[in-house]
A = this chain, B = another copy of it.
Amino acid sequence: MLTDRQMMILRMIVDNYVLSAEPVGSRTISKQTDLGLSAATIRNEMADLEELGYLEQPHASAGRIPSQTGYRFYVDHLLMGDTRLSGQEITRIKSLFTERIGEMERVAQQTALFLSNLTQYTAVVLGPQVYDTTLKNLQLVALNDHTAVLLMVASSGQVYNRTVSMPEGVSIREMESLVRILNARLSGTPMYRIRSRALEEITHEVSRHMRDYEEAVHLLDQVVTWLESDKEGKVYLGGATNMLLQPEFRDVHKAQPVLTWLERHHDVMEALRSDESTLQLQVRIGGENDVQSLHDCSLVTATYTVGGLPVGVIGLIGPTRMDYARVIPLLGHLSKGLSDLLTKFYVN
């Protein structure tokens, strides 16, 4: 186990390195500490800390930088209750969520921008995706004789739409009655049960309203398939180019894989969605990330909820040398605020 002094030194090294991005020397620490310890003493401690695996030396005559385990220890044991947010920042966070809610989309996008502006890191917000949602409403709006828009509102307030063109032999009228039946019979049904209920109860009723039985079944199947299809949540990015501001990514070849990964929204979603079920705030440091491209990054994520159920994730991606002391409480407050806002709106 580390002595108190070692912890203090480790902590100072991390704090310094986070700020400067340059290896921290013994003199620097010696000067900053108030327990008048000489550089030589610090050096001894630093050598010990390196042996224990908490520090690293980029090269023989350089200062020390925290190792991955060093950061891990810092995050797990040295940050307890250390919130480095100014009162001003906290009120700014709160005021962000006092606005009227407009579209869900806009809230998510704005949260991402806010986070990235405040931190100079890259923010990721996974749009709300509710698993045990039910079907609220289904509508068909005809655009012309052969095209219509199918609208679906979920109980979580999300709206999905797709354009459908009528197959030969099916009129818009028929399609409208199909949708009317579905709406009447299925509204309130959990999404994942839609198919079974549709097949059980509705098929024959639908076919009564349509001339072509084959087409009727086919069309019904298509609509149901769409309804139950994964409405993959969206990914909102803020400040992706902030990555380029970080000294460790000044080399294009370092930055490129990360930025490219960020463009693959599907992968991003997959990577973050896995943290969702544990309601905890998660910190993934460097190699702790499963994603290869993020091995030089850290990823801090928090889950936000509606009525206590996890529905989405907000997160920050930055270099391993991340300002955890700021980022962690920031995400904490923000996910709380977002949860409260959404809960107020979408829970009865």
Residue A153, interface by CB 8 Å: yes
Cβ of A121 to closest chain B Cβ, rounded Å: 14
Residue A139, interface by CB 8 Å: yes
- The docked-state distance in angstroms from the alpha carbon of A346 to that of B163 is 10
Complex partner residue of A159 from B149, B239, B244, B348, CB under 8 angstroms:
B149
Are B143 and A157 interface neighbours, CB within 8 A? yes
Q: What is the interface of chain A mostly: helix, strand, loop, or mixed?
A: mixed
Determine, out of A1-9, A64-72, A254-262, A331-339, the stretch whose residues face the partner at the interface: A254-262
Determine, out of A51-59, A96-104, A211-219, A270-278, the stretch whose residues face the partner at the interface: A96-104
Give chain A's interface residue range (CB within 8 Å of chain B).
Answer: 35 or more
Are A240 and B263 interface neighbours, CB within 8 A? yes
- The docked-state distance in angstroms from the alpha carbon of A103 to that of B229 is 14
Residue A147, interface by CB 8 Å: yes
Are A153 and B163 interface neighbours, CB within 8 A? no
Residue A145, interface by CB 8 Å: yes
Q: Which residues of B contact A151 (CB under 8 A)?
A: 139, 151, 153, 159
Closest chain B residue, CB of each to CB of A103: B162
Closest chain B residue, CB of each to CB of A345: B147
Q: Which residues of B contact A250 (CB under 8 A)?
A: 252
Residue A207, interface by CB 8 Å: no
Are A259 and B244 interface neighbours, CB within 8 A? yes
Closest chain B residue, CB of each to CB of A147: B345
Residue A144, interface by CB 8 Å: yes
**Binary flags per residue of A174-198, CB closer than 8 Å to B gives 1, else 0:** 0000000000000000000000000
- The docked-state distance in angstroms from the alpha carbon of A171 to that of B161 is 27
Complex partner residue of A139 from B100, B102, B139, B143, CB under 8 angstroms:
B139
Are A165 and B244 interface neighbours, CB within 8 A? no
Residue A347, interface by CB 8 Å: yes
Are A141 and B163 interface neighbours, CB within 8 A? no
Closest chain B residue, CB of each to CB of A106: B162
Knowing A252-B250, A255-B244, A263-B241, say if A348 contacts B163 (CB, 8 Å): no
Residue pairs across A and B with Cβ atoms less than 8 A apart, 10 shown, are: A101-B165, A102-B163, A103-B161, A139-B151, A143-B155, A144-B346, A147-B345, A151-B159, A165-B345, A244-B256
